[in-house]
Amino acid sequence: MENTAKSLSGLKKEDFQKVIQGKQTDLYFLRNSSGMEVAVTNYGGSLVAIMVPDRNGNYANVIQGHDNIDDCINSPEPFLSTLVGRYGNRICHGKFTLNGKEYSLAVNNGPNHLHGGPTGFHARVWDAEQVNDHTLVLRYVSAYYEEGFPGELSMTVMYSLTEDNELKIDYKGTTNKKTIVNMTSHGFFSLAGIGNPTPTCEDVICQINADFYVPIDENSIPTGEILKVKGTPFDFTTPHRVGDHLTDFSDKQIKNGTGYDHCFVLNKHEPGELTFAAKIVEPKSGRSMEVYTTEPGVQFYSDNWADGYKGQHGATFGKHSALCFEAQHFPDSPNRAYFPPVVLKPGQVYTQKTIYKFGVEN
């Protein structure tokens, strides 16, 4: 029996155990020999703790989450550090056409469909198999027409923690009918460590390996353009403070996103290659995180809507207290023929690999 009394995060398995949708929820711990700890619940595949040291060796949880299953279910932020699917990000008016047939999805974000809908993958109990002390495999079969999507989709997500302090997320999916898939992990990262209150991320130094980004309209739907970042608040090709332009609402794109909530077009030599996407460094603690992904884009979100709601162990999560790097295909791709395709056909396998690598800098 796993001894979780000594969990670095102070989280307890029994606080995450409940029968929901006829399935048992639980908490799983991944650990490596250097002392890093990751805690995951199979409710929505939510990452509830990532314990990493600062430059002085002090451990803190650097991802926002809750400390019990009921708070996860009832979170003011339903996508708080969860898996997201079938379709991450927005689809305009919740409608798309496939094989000449129009499909209608839930509209749960203004006039748009967001993150798979209110009962998407974030709100489902996944079948969990802890392979060893550093690997967890989650499986879920999304029924035909679940949340309006065509086809039955069988999805497997594997979390693995390496000896290099990398959290790897591998996705694999198959379908019996043509459908659309765009999964992601919606981690809300707070490298200073969560607390009461959790510090803002304005001083975090950010780099994003993207010469182009996807501009949005006032409803956060892509305009259809793909624009250069050079000379705009979206130029993170060289590292600088997140706060430098975060509230520069004279910029129409910052205004439309109420901060950063945009898909960056990652620099790639060829589609599907695993490449460097982004890096952040929290100057006070020295903690760093690098992102690598096979996906063509990363949605950079500066936590613009948090209002100080309560999280784990009395922590509070205010506006701009987290940064999200959601590796994914572009928003509204089903309605944009020239965006990288998100259609999955029978016989094909959907795959994605994203890595979050943690470190410290002096």
Share of the chain above pLDDT 90, in %: 98
Instruction: Give Cα 234 distance to the centre of its chain.
Output: 20
CB 119 within 8 A of CB 226: no
CB-count exposure of residue 178 (10 Å: 0-12, 13-18, 19+):
middle
What pLDDT band is residue 362 in, cutting at 50, 70 and 90? confident
Using CA atoms, how far apart are residues 268 and 142, in angstroms rounded to an integer?
Answer: 31
186 tagged catalytic: yes
Using CA atoms, how far apart are residues 223 and 216, in angstroms rounded to an integer?
Answer: 5
326 tagged catalytic: yes
Peptide bond into 239 cis (omega under 30): no
251 residue type, one letter: D
**Bridge partner list, 214:** 263
Taking only the tens place, the pLDDT of each residue in 163-218 is 999 999 999 999 999 999 999 999 999 999 999 999 999 999 999 999 999 999 99
pLDDT of residue 57: 97
pLDDT of 2 over the 80 cut: no
**Bridge partner list, 87:** 182
pLDDT of 139 over the 60 cut: yes
CA atoms within 13 A on the CB side of 148: 22
Taking only the tens place, the pLDDT of each residue in 263-296 is 999 999 999 999 999 999 999 999 999 999 999 9
Please give the model's pTM, rounded to 2 decimal places. 0.97
pLDDT of residue 3: 43
- Name the 3-class secondary structure at 116: coil
pLDDT of 228 over the 90 cut: yes
Task: Extract the tokens encoding 146.
Answer: 């679940």
Q: 186, 245, 320, 329: which one is catalytic? A: 186
Mean pLDDT of the region 5-18: 92
Q: 77, 147, 290, 326: which one is catalytic? A: 326
CB-count exposure of residue 143 (10 Å: 0-12, 13-18, 19+):
exposed
Domains with residue ranges and CATH for the chain: 13-185 (2.70.98.10)
pLDDT of residue 6: 81
What pLDDT band is residue 132 in, cutting at 50, 70 and 90? very high
What pLDDT band is residue 21 in, cutting at 50, 70 and 90? confident
pLDDT of 1 over the 50 cut: no
**For residue 12, what is the enclosing H or E element?**
none
Taking only the tens place, the pLDDT of each residue in 81-98 is 999 999 999 999 999 999
- Residue 85 CB neighbours (<10 A): 28
